[in-house]
Amino acid sequence: MSSVRTRRQAAAIATPVTPSPAPREEQVVMNGNGKAHGSAKDDYPRENIFLFWPNLIGYARIVLAFASLYYMPLHPRTCSGLYSVSCLLDALDGYAARYFEQSTRFGAVLDMVTDRCTTACLLVFLGSAFPRWAIIFQGLISLDLASHYVHMYATLAMGGSDTSHKAVDKSRSWILNLYYTNKTVLFIFCALNEVFFIALYLLSFSSPFLSPSLLQVTNNGTSGTSLEPGSPAQPGASLFLNPHSAAALELARANKMDSFVPWVIAGVSFPIMFMKQFINVVQLVKASRWLAEGDIAARKAAGLPRKRKMK
């Protein structure tokens, strides 16, 4: 009996014990990309970032911006309306992102790129409408693009990939902290900045003081023969053979635009626009210094500059 018992104990030791399968809720399956998936109860629903509500609003902004550019050379009222709606939706997409909890990096980039591109396109038109001041508009485009690009790059490089470009500490710049963290301040500055340029655009169609070509007289005594941007064409010009066409009537209405309201809007919004450009300068300088601080730290970590041996 003892020998039989001994053989049974040896067989039990030699036979590997197979563990019982884990409960279904604890099983984890790895796919080819190394991503773990838990049970169906723990999985989140699959989401399409491109169809989030804030991003859909962003696409609508792009469509409206392109439509405004189409009407920009000859239809000031239609263009101004479409462009203004596109700018106002900029505030709505941020609200939608917070309400639906759909804040994404793609949405932030889409919003910033749309802002920069639409403003640049309007400034390009103003540069052609007022060629004497084209260098000013070219400088504003360059400042806007450079300021936001360097600021975004510095935030990602120095603050980390999870840091928002709006997360500016007061110790680095109190004015940028106020600009980015106070939603009311941000909306007023962005809105009135665009309003000022829209007012200039309308003045290119209505103010002989800014657009002397509006006073040009043709052989038959009519005015406004120039087809340059910002200068409404004569309704009977060869561009529109039928003087009663819809395009000709729109141009006739453009010729009758009153410059008083655009002048008032431009005067009221100019200080905010000027401050917005000042903030762009501050943002560019602060971001450049932040990058330089990181470069100095990296060079010290690498033992640079090396001391050269004197011969």
Catalytic residue among 42, 115, 162, 295: 115
Task: Identify the residue with better confidence: 162 or 214.
Answer: 162
pLDDT at res. 126: 95
Separation in Å, CA 206 to CA 185, 213, 229, 248, 307: 31, 11, 13, 17, 67
Average of per-residue pLDDT values in the chain: 81
The predicted model scores a pTM of: 0.75
Please indicate whether residue 258 is annotated as part of the active site.
Answer: no
CATH code of the domain occupying 49-290: 1.20.120
Spatial CA neighbour of 54 closest among 85, 83, 94:
94
| Cα Rg of the chain, angstroms | 31
pLDDT at res. 238: 45
Share of the chain above pLDDT 70, in %: 71
- Candidate ranges 29-33, 42-46, 144-148; pick with highest mean pLDDT: 144-148
Task: Identify the residue with better confidence: 291 or 305.
Answer: 291
pLDDT at res. 91: 87
Long-range own/partner contacts, residues 62-71 (CB < 8 A, 24 or more apart): 62/114, 64/89, 65/114, 65/117, 65/118, 65/121, 69/121
DSSP H helical ranges for 100-214: 105-129, 134-154, 174-181, 183-206
Domain range list for the chain? 49-290
pLDDT at res. 35: 47
Encode pLDDT of 34-83 as tens digits. 444 444 555 678 899 999 999 999 999 999 999 999 999 888 999 999 99
